Amino acid sequence: MLSTLPRLIGHRGAKENAPENTLASLREAARQGAAWVEVDVMLTRDRVPVLIHDDTLERTTSGTGPVPDLTLAELRRLDAGSWFDPRFAGETVPTLEDALALIRDLGLGLNLEIKPYPGQDVATAEAAIATLKRLWPAGRPLLLSSFEVPCLEVARDLAPDIPRGYLLWDPPADWAAIADRIGAATLNVDQERQTAGTVAVYRATGRPVLAYTVNDPRRANELFDWGVAGVFTDAPGRLAAALGQ
Ligand code: G3P
Ligand code: MG
């Protein structure tokens, strides 16, 4: 069961002010007062779950090529902070294990997005769930999510008690049936595609709606007015201040 959902979730940590999906970004989200963070998890060549968004290394690290071409040892040698700002030189791509320990210590809730490299849906979900089962404290707020239905099916089967969010960008015609089949607890939708009408349709399924990614407080208020329960934001502190929260 998902008992509480936050209004604001730090997207990839606090992506506006720190390099996304790094430990520094998680610390920054906590410093800004975020109650929850969202991070993306993918596998290395040796099947270790790590935090990274893109399929390839270029944008957010000093490396090149597909993420699953590198072992964890090779990945650890890359700089994942300098591209954002020289102040963050030396940040690395964190393992999920290290990230969970920090998120736990920071007292944050977590939305873990399973972000498999193409063809690795099942393996990524299995590894992420095994790590969560080993390290995430019982009772601490947790939501698993994915755009990839096979990941959510694995989650349903291996960890039925962990709530699942169905991520939608361009929803398939049968999204509602899929949401039922995977036992989705939330619908996590692209904010740009939403109107009062679309939010009403999603809410009519009885599920809370979360919207990504919202950095404009006026847009956040509009979405909340339509009944969106919470938004993913790159700037949790700035948005909270603007919203008076
Ligand atoms: O989980 C919300 C959001 O992170 C989904 O899109 O591409 O930013 O991972 P993306
Ligand atoms: Mg994400």
Per-residue pLDDT tens for 65-82?
999 999 999 999 999 999
CA of 72 to the centre of ligand 1 (A): 23
**In degrees rounded to 5, what are phi and psi of residue 201?**
-65, -45
Residue 53: active-site member? yes
190 lines ligand 1 (CB under 6 A): no
212 lines ligand 1 (CB under 6 A): yes
CA of 83 to the centre of ligand 1 (A): 20
Determine if the pTM surpasses 0.75: yes
Q: What is the pLDDT of residue 45?
A: 98
- pLDDT higher than 90, residue 245: no
For the chain, count helices (H), then strands (E): 9, 9
| Strands 49-51 and 36-43, bridge-based pairing | antiparallel
Architecture of domain 8-54+96-243: Alpha-Beta Barrel (3.20)
Domain boundaries, the chain: 8-54+96-243
**In degrees rounded to 5, what are phi and psi of residue 181?**
-65, -40
The catalytic residue among 5, 7, 11, 148 is: 11
Per-residue pLDDT tens for 174-226?
999 999 999 999 999 999 999 999 999 999 999 999 999 999 999 999 999 99
Percent of the chain whose pLDDT exceeds 70:
100
Per-residue pLDDT tens for 89-129?
999 999 999 999 999 999 999 999 999 999 999 999 999 99
